[in-house]
C-alpha cells in the first residue's frame, strides 16, 4: 500500500524547486522549515493512514446515482469530513475567508499525497480550490461574503462547468444560455457533461461555476459569461434555502477513478416542479467569463499535473515492492538459493529506474511551477513579471508532461508485475486506469503543446525561454566542475540535450515569426517533451549536487533516457512535411 514519500517531497521542494532559498530570505514571512516539515509530515500521515486504505473500496464500489442523488463509496463521506476537519482544504486559501494562506508549493505537495493515496478522492477538492481562486479574484464582494468562507473550509464544494456534448475543447461552440431576470440574477438553461463531483454526498451544498451565453452575446469565445449557480439557495443568515433548478441526470461509467462522480448536469429543466431556469449570479463582467474561468483552469492544470506525479509515485512504490517479492529465474548478481527476486534482473531494474526518474522529474517541474506562482505573488515590478512568465512557461509542462509520465509509469508498473499486472487484484492495473484520463482533461496535452509553442515561447519578446535554458545550462556546468564522483557523462548528456533544445526553440520561434504556424504546430508535442526532459535532467542534477546519494539515478537518466532529446529535435525540425503528407491520407472525402 502507498506510503507518502515525505522526505523526497520535502527535498524536492527545498533543494530542487527553490523553497529553501525563499524561506531563508523570509519571502513567506514567518514560515520556516519546521512548519513546512510539520505540515508535510501530517499530510503524509493522513494520506497513508486515512486515505489510502479506502482506495480499493472506492475503485470497486464506485459512485452510485439514484433519483438524482449520488452516494459515494462506503467510508468516503466520513473520510472527507475528517479531511476538512484537519484544515486541509483551507491550506492555501485566502486568510480573510478562513484560509491559512500557505504557499502554493505546500498546497500542491499535499495534493500529490491525496492523489497518490486515491486520485478519485483528491480530484474533488481540487475543483473547490480552483473555484475559491476564481471567486476571490473576480466575484463581487457580496458573492465572496456569502460563499467563500464555506468553500475555503470545504464545508461546501465547488465545480467547474464548461463542457457540453458539442463543445469539448472548442468553447466557442457552447450553447448553454443565460437570461437576465431583471433583479440582478440570471436564469441558466442547458446541459453540461463530464462535471467532476457535480453531485455527491460529501457536502450539503455544491457551488457550480457555469459558462453560458447571454441573448445578445457576440459569437465565439468573446460572448461567454461565467455564473455562480448553487445547488441550494443561501439565505441572508447563511442557512440553506430552497433547491435550485439544477440536477444530475447521469453518471459516466469510466475506465478509472470510479469513486469520483463524473456527472451530466441539467440546468433550467424544471427539476422537481421548480419554475424552469436555474438561478445564477454573474462572476466578473458580461461576455468576459472565459478570462475568469481561466483563473480556475490554470489552477486546475497544475493540479492535474500533480495527479500525474501522484499516480506515478504510487505505481512506482507498488512495482518496487513487487519486484523485491516476486521470484523468477536466475540472476548473475544473486547469491541466494533458488529463484532470484526479479529486482535483480537488469531489464526489471531498467524499468524501475525509468519509473523513479520520470516520477522525480515530473515532481520537480510541477513544484518549480508552483514556486514560480508563489514568487510572482510576493514579488514586485520586473521580478513579478519574470516569475509570472516562468509560471506561464512551466504550466503546460507541469500539466502535459507530468500526466504523460503518469500513464507511462503506470504502464511500466503493469509490465514489472508481468501477467499479474493485468489482473485487477494486484492493483497495478488500477493505477493505469486512473492515470489515463489526466492527459485528456483540463485541456488535452496536444492543446497544452500548442499553448506552449504559440503563447509561451514568445514571452519576454521570445527571450524568457532562453533565459530558462541558460539556468539549466548553469546546472550542467556545476555538475562538470563539481569534482563529485559518480556523475559519469551526465554533464555531456545535459549539454547535448540543451543544445538540441536551443536549436529546436529557435527553429519554432522563426517558424512562428514567418507565419508558418502549421509547421510550428507539427512540432509542438515533441517540443513539449524535449523541453521537459531537458529541464528534468537539470532538476535531477540539481538534486544530486545537493545530495550525493541521488547521483546514481541522475546519471542513469542522463545516460539512458536523455538521448531521446536528439530524436525529438529531429522530429521538430524535419517532421512537419511528412506529417502533413501522411495526414492527408487520413482525411475522408
Instruction: Write out the catalytic residue numbers.
Output: 442
Three-state SS string over 87-153 comes to: CCCCCCCCHHHCCCCCCHHHHHHHHHHHHHHCHHHHHHHHHHHHHHHHHHHHCCHHHHHHHHHHHHH
End-to-end CA distance of the chain: 52
CA 279 to chain centre: 31
* Phi and psi, residue 121, nearest 5°: -80, -50
Using DSSP's 3-state secondary structure scheme, residue 328 falls into: coil
Buried-exposed string 63-78: b where 16+ CB fall within 10 A, e elsewhere: bebeeeebbbbeebee
CA 228 to chain centre: 24
Q: Are 370 and 301 in contact (CB under 8 A)?
A: no
Q: Are 372 and 391 in contact (CB under 8 A)?
A: yes
Beta bridge partners of 247: 266
Buried-exposed string 498-532: b where 16+ CB fall within 10 A, e elsewhere: bbbbbebbebbbebbeeeeeebbbbbbbbbbbbbb
Handedness of CA 127, 132, 133, 135 (dihedral sign): positive
Nearest to 412 by CA among 468, 357, 467: 357
Structure-block grid coordinates of residue 28: 513567506
Angle between helices 33-46 and 104-117 (to 10 degrees): 20
* Phi and psi, residue 278, nearest 5°: -75, 130
What is the number of other CB atoms lying within 10 angstroms of the CB of residue 574? Answer: 10
Angle at 500 between CA 494 and CA 503, to 5 degrees: 140
- Which own/partner contact pairs does 79-82 have at CB distance under 8 Å and 24+ positions apart? 79/50, 79/51, 79/54, 79/121, 80/121, 80/124, 80/154, 80/202, 80/203, 82/46, 82/50
**Separation of alpha carbons 66 and 133, rounded Å:** 32
**Separation of alpha carbons 393 and 462, rounded Å:** 11
* Phi and psi, residue 417, nearest 5°: -75, -15
Amino acid at each position: 500500500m502507498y506510503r507518502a514519500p515525505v522526505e523526497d517531497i520535502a527535498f524536492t521542494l527545498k533543494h530542487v524547486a527553490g523553497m529553501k532559498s525563499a524561506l531563508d530570505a523570509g519571502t513567506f514571512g514567518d514560515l520556516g522549515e519546521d512548519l513546512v516539515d510539520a505540515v508535510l509530515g501530517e499530510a503524509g500521515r493522513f494520506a497513508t493512514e486515512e486515505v489510502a486504505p479506502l482506495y480499493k473500496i472506492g475503485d470497486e464500489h464506485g459512485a452510485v446515482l439514484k433519483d438524482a442523488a449520488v452516494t459515494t463509496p462506503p467510508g468516503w463521506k466520513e473520510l472527507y469530513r475528517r479531511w476538512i476537519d484537519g484544515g486541509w482544504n483551507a491550506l492555501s486559501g485566502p486568510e480573510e475567508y478562513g484560509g491559512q494562506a500557505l504557499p502554493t508549493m505546500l498546497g500542491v505537495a499535499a495534493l500529490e499525497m491525496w492523489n497518490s493515496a486515491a486520485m478519485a478522492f483528491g480530484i474533488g477538492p481540487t475543483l473547490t480550490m480552483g473555484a475559491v481562486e476564481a471567486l476571490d479574484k473576480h466575484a463581487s464582494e457580496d458573492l465572496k461574503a456569502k460563499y467563500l468562507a464555506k468553500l475555503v473550509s470545504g464545508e461546501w464544494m465547488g465545480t467547474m462547468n464548461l463542457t457540453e456534448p458539442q463543445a469539448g475543447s472548442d468553447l466557442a461552440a457552447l450553447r448553454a444560455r443565460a437570461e437576465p431576470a431583471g433583479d440582478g440574477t440570471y436564469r441558466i438553461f442547458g446541459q453540461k457533461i463530464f462535471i467532476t463531483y457535480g453531485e455527491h454526498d460529501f457536502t450539503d451544498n455544491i457551488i457550480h461555476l457555469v459558462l453560458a451565453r447571454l441573448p445578445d452575446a457576440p459569437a465565439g469565445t468573446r460572448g461567454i459569461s461565467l455564473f455562480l449557480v448553487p445547488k441550494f439557495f443561501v439565505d441572508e443568515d447563511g442557512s440553506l434555502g430552497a433547491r435550485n433548478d439544477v440536477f444530475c441526470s447521469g453518471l459516466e461509467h469510466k475506465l478509472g477513478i470510479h469513486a469520483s462522480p463524473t456527472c451530466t448536469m441539467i440546468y433550467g429543466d424544471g427539476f422537481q416542479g421548480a419554475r424552469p431556469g436555474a438561478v445564477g449570479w454573474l462572476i466578473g463582467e458580461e461576455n468576459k467569463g472565459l478570462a475568469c474561468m481561466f483563473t480556475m483552469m490554470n489552477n486546475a492544470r497544475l493540479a492535474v499535473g500533480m495527479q500525474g506525479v501522484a499516480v506515478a509515485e504510487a505505481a512506482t512504490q507498488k512495482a518496487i515492492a513487487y519486484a523485491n517479492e516476486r521470484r523468477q529465474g536466475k540472476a548473475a548478481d544473486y547469491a541466494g538459493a533458488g529463484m532470484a527476486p526479479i529486482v535483480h534482473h537488469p531489464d526489471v531494474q531498467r524499468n524501475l529506474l525509468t519509473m523513479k526518474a520520470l516520477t522525480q522529474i515530473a515532481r520537480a517541474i510541477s513544484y518549480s511551477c508552483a514556486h514560480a506562482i508563489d514568487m510572482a505573488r510576493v514579488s514586485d515590478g520586473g521580478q513579478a513579471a519574470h516569475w509570472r512568465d516562468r509560471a506561464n512557461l512551466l504550466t503546460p509542462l507541469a500539466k502535459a508532461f507530468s500526466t504523460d509520465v503518469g500513464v507511462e509509469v503506470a504502464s511500466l508498473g503493469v509490465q514489472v508485475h508481468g501477467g499479474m499486472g493485468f489482473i485487477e487484484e494486484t492493483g497495478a492495473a488500477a493505477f493505469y486506469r486512473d492515470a489515463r484520463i489526466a492527459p485528456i482533461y483540463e485541456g488535452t496535452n496536444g492543446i497544452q503543446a500548442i499553448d506552449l509553442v504559440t503563447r509561451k515561447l514568445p514571452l519576454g519578446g521570445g527571450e524568457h525561454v532562453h533565459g530558462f535554458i541558460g539556468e539549466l545550462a548553469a546546472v550542467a556546468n556545476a555538475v562538470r566542475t563539481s569534482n563529485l564522483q559518480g556523475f559519469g557523462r551526465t554533464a555531456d548528456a545535459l549539454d547535448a540535450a540543451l543544445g538540441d533544445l536551443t536549436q529546436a526553440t529557435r527553429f519554432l520561434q522563426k517558424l512562428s515569426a514567418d507565419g508558418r504556424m502549421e509547421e510550428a504546430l507539427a512540432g509542438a508535442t515533441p517540443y513539449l517533451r524535449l523541453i521537459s526532459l531537458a529541464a528534468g535532467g537539470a532538476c535531477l542534477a540539481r538534486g544530486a549536487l545537493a545530495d550525493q546519494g541521488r547521483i546514481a539515478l541522475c546519471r542513469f537518466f542522463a545516460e539512458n533516457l536523455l538521448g531521446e532529446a536528439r530524436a525529438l529535435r529531429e522530429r521538430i525540425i524535419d517532421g512537419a512535411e511528412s506529417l502533413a503528407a501522411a495526414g492527408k491520407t487520413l482525411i475522408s472525402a
